[in-house]
């Protein structure tokens, strides 16, 4: 008697695990997220001076330390939430000079239009107010006393 032919068994094929490929794919994605932006990013913008208001936790304190280290016309109040600044006037020589006031405005990133409005104010206008993101300001300006302002952090 003859035996019926049985199909020949398929050779044993070893199944490979997909885990190494998954790990490799994850590493490539992570490397792409971390390394690629650093390679193609324009770092030249990061080398210049950064505005203090954007980079510091307490910009009002930094403005006082940076622009009025002698404490001639700037002081903090209300738990460092208010900065009171007095400028130099014709009859009031104690206070911040124009360059020190410019330093305060630059440090706090006061918009140029608001600075022009402050300097364009006259005594008859009384106390005026303005704001920019994160801050409000109220001020008076006279020839005798100079520009006096109170900046409040929101």
- The helix (H) or strand (E) run that includes residue 63 is helix 59-67
Q: Which residue has the tokens 């950064």?
A: 50
Q: What pLDDT shows up at residue 2?
A: 67
Q: Tell me the H-state helices in 75-150.
A: 98-107, 112-120
Other Cβ atoms within 10 Å of 100 Cβ, number: 22
Q: What is the mean pLDDT of residues 66-93?
A: 90
What is the rounded distance in angstroms from the CA atom of residue 59 to the CA atom of residue 37?
Answer: 30
| pLDDT confidence of residue 126 | 92
pLDDT at 56: 45
> Average model confidence (pLDDT) for the chain?
84
As a whole-number percent, the residues of the chain with pLDDT over 70 amount to 83
Sign of CA dihedral 130, 132, 133, 135: negative
Any idea what DSSP says for residue 152? E
Cα Rg for the chain, rounded, in angstroms?
A: 33
DSSP string, 133-149: TTEEEEEEEETTTEEEE
User: What pTM, to 2 d.p., does this model score?
Assistant: 0.61
- Range in 93-97, 113-117, 123-127, 128-132 with the lowest mean pLDDT: 93-97
Residue 43: pLDDT band (50, 70, 90) is: low
Q: Read off the pLDDT of residues 46-55 as tens digits, 9 standing for 90 and up.
A: 544 555 544 5
Listed by start position, the domains of the chain span 52-153
> Phi first, then psi: what are they for 151, rounded to 5°?
-100, 130
pLDDT band at 6; cut points 50, 70, 90: confident
């Amino acid at each position: 008697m003859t035996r019926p032919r049985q199909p020949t068994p398929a050779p044993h094929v070893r199944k490979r695990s997909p885990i190494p490929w998954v790990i490799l794919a994850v590493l490539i994605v992570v490397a792409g997220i971390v390394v690629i932006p650093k390679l193609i990013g324009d770092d030249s913008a990061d080398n210049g001076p950064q505005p203090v208001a954007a980079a510091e936790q307490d910009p009002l304190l930094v403005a006082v330390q940076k622009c009025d280290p002698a404490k001639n016309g700037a002081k903090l109040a209300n738990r460092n939430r208010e900065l009171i600044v007095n400028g130099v006037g014709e009859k009031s020589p104690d206070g911040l000079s124009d360059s020190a006031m410019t330093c305060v405005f630059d440090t706090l990133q006061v918009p140029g239009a608001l600075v022009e409005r402050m300097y364009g104010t006259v005594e008859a206008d009384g106390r005026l107010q303005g704001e920019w993101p994160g801050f409000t300001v109220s001020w008076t300006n006279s020839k005798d006393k100079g520009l006096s302002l109170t900046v409040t952090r929101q």
